[in-house]
Amino acid sequence: MVLSYVYYEMKCHLLLAMIGAFAVMVVAQKQEGFISLDCGFPIEESPYSDPSTGLTFTSDSTFIQTGKSARIEKQLNQNFRKPYLTLRYFPEGKRNCYSLNVNRGTNYLISLTFIYGNYDDLNVYPNFDLYLGPDKWRRIDMEGRSNGTKEEIIHIPRKNSLDICLVRTGTTSPIISAIELRPLRNDTYVTHSGSLRRSFRVYLSNSEREVRFADDMYDRIWTPFFSSRFTQITTNLNINTSDTFEVPKAALSSAATPRNASAPFIISWKPIPSDAEVYLYLHFAEIQTLQANETREFDIIMKGVFNQSGITPPKLERLTVFSAVPLQCDLDGCRLELVRTPKSTLPPLINALEAYTIIEFPQLETNSSDVVAIKNIKATYRLSKISWQGDPCLPQELSWENLGCSYANISTPPRIISLNLSASGLTGSISPILQNLAHIQELDLSNNSLTGSVPKFLANIKSLSLM
């Protein structure tokens, strides 16, 4: 198999399931902890059940205050699933953020979908930056991506709220079609540091069917992948897939072996960036009925970085082999080989595999009591400042207007030290919530219609300019 063959195939297959409606049985499956937002969808018609997956989608409008709703071009409707027909675009402001409620410390699969669909009739594909809280996640360049693009990570939030921000970088307005969060088990997809960005998740099958919820209780999307160099094996028998990874039966009940039974099974791809650290999860199950004199045994080899010898997939039961430490492929890319051992009478077999690269989100967000305080102030005085979204102090170049922060180092959360609400149309009394900004040094409340006396607490604030 030629180098990066898989990678290109992967791109083509990426949004395959959006094209053509696959009839799925809509069963009453739990969607516990799932967040499924259809961006730009009218709140009056929300929630609804996505006919192709049975997933319950809601409008995004209570998770963001800015942006406008639009629909993709009508003649493209048939190409996409319902949640991708509307979108939210952001003609105003540099940074626009969703603020989601999550459970701190839980491992989440976070998937974002972007489909331009010529919603503005301009036929100009947008490009912009995506941020997770204060950290840059990825540049989204939609040029030529008429089928849209997806971005997926497995990430453990450090707080009970998670900001997903779209940042304008040029003349085009950022867009987003859907936001999906799925809680995973905390004992799977564990990294030494950082989060996992999906390179691909495939099952070896020559079908066209994408496997996801409700086949996969965690709604991981398994894309079919096959090549003319493979031979397919399938089974109708039940496969025991219980325990930890819970790879869906639908993704395990087919497998590939090399067409040339004495040659190794090879898959190669190029991680992005090429020096990224890689985590690999290989899922095996023996789904062929073996005769008494038949054996299947092989070694798993990744040139110079990973060796696992004498693998025999258990009969109708899942075996997952993964790298406990991140792997670093060489500059030519990653090359996974399954090599038949001399005693094996059968070629190697593989049912499904997942590859991820490490992505770091290192910045500590602004001190959380400062964040709570400033959000309360924003709500109390009904301040509608477009830049007041996401983290107040970070990244520094996108920090909120009329607000100053102190920055020590990357491992110390920034503090809010000044606030200028001059001429901000404030009315009513001076609220005691202002004192919750514990490190404030400068506060300007001039040129507003505030009434009542100046509260005592303000006297304690150093170098205060109060007019």
Ligand X SMILES: *[C@@H]1O[C@H](CO)[C@@H](O)[C@H](O)[C@H]1NC(C)=O
Residues in contact with ligand X by the rule CB under 6 A: 16, 19, 144, 146-147, 240, 242-243, 260, 262-263, 291, 293, 304-305, 307, 317, 345, 420, 422-423, 442, 444, 447, 465
Q: Minimum Å distance from CB 170 to ligand X?
A: 21
SS (H, E, C) the chain: CCCCHHHHHHHHHCCHHHCCCCCCCCCCCCCCCCEEEECCCCHHHCCEECCCCCCEEEECCCCCCCCEEEECCHHHHHHCCHHHCEEEECCCCCEEEEEEECCCCCCEEEEEEECCCCCCCCCCCCEEEEEECCEEEEEEECCCCCCCEEEEEEECCCCCEEEEEEEECCCCCCEECEEEEEECCCCCCCCCCCEEEEEEEEEECCCCCCECCCCCCCCCCEEEECCCCEEEEECCCCCECCCCCCCCHHHHCEEEEECCCCCCEEEEECCCCCCCEEEEEEEECECCCCCCCCCECEEEEECCCEEEEEECCCECECEEEECCCCEECECCEEEEEEEECCCCCECCCECEEEEEEEECCCCCCCCHHHHHHHHHHHHHCCCCCCCCCCCCCCCHHHCCCCEEEECCCCCCCCEEEEEECCCCCCEEECCHHHHHCCCCCEEECCCCEEECCCCHHHHHCCCCCCC
Based on CB atoms, which residue is closest to ligand X, 193 or 291? 291
Based on CB atoms, which residue is closest to ligand X, 242 or 451? 242
- Residue type at position 143: E
Going by DSSP bridges, is the β-strand pair 449-451/427-429 parallel, antiparallel, or unpaired? parallel
Q: Minimum Å distance from CB 180 to ligand X?
A: 21
**Minimal CA–CA distance to 265: which of 307, 317, 301?**
301
Based on CB atoms, which residue is closest to ligand X, 32 or 401? 401
**Minimal CA–CA distance to 90: which of 117, 127, 37, 36?**
127
Based on CB atoms, which residue is closest to ligand X, 12 or 122? 12
Based on CB atoms, which residue is closest to ligand X, 62 or 260? 260
Q: Minimum Å distance from CB 60 to ligand X?
A: 25
CB within 8 Å of 12: residues ≥ 6 apart: none
Q: Minimum Å distance from CB 146 to ligand X?
A: 5
Q: Minimum Å distance from CB 307 to ligand X?
A: 4
Based on CB atoms, which residue is closest to ligand X, 135 or 141? 141
Based on CB atoms, which residue is closest to ligand X, 1 or 181? 1
Q: Minimum Å distance from CB 19 to ligand X?
A: 5
Q: Minimum Å distance from CB 88 to ligand X?
A: 23
Based on CB atoms, which residue is closest to ligand X, 49 or 345? 345
Based on CB atoms, which residue is closest to ligand X, 56 or 345? 345
Q: Minimum Å distance from CB 440 to ligand X?
A: 12
Q: Minimum Å distance from CB 305 to ligand X?
A: 6
Based on CB atoms, which residue is closest to ligand X, 61 or 147? 147
Q: Minimum Å distance from CB 295 to ligand X?
A: 9
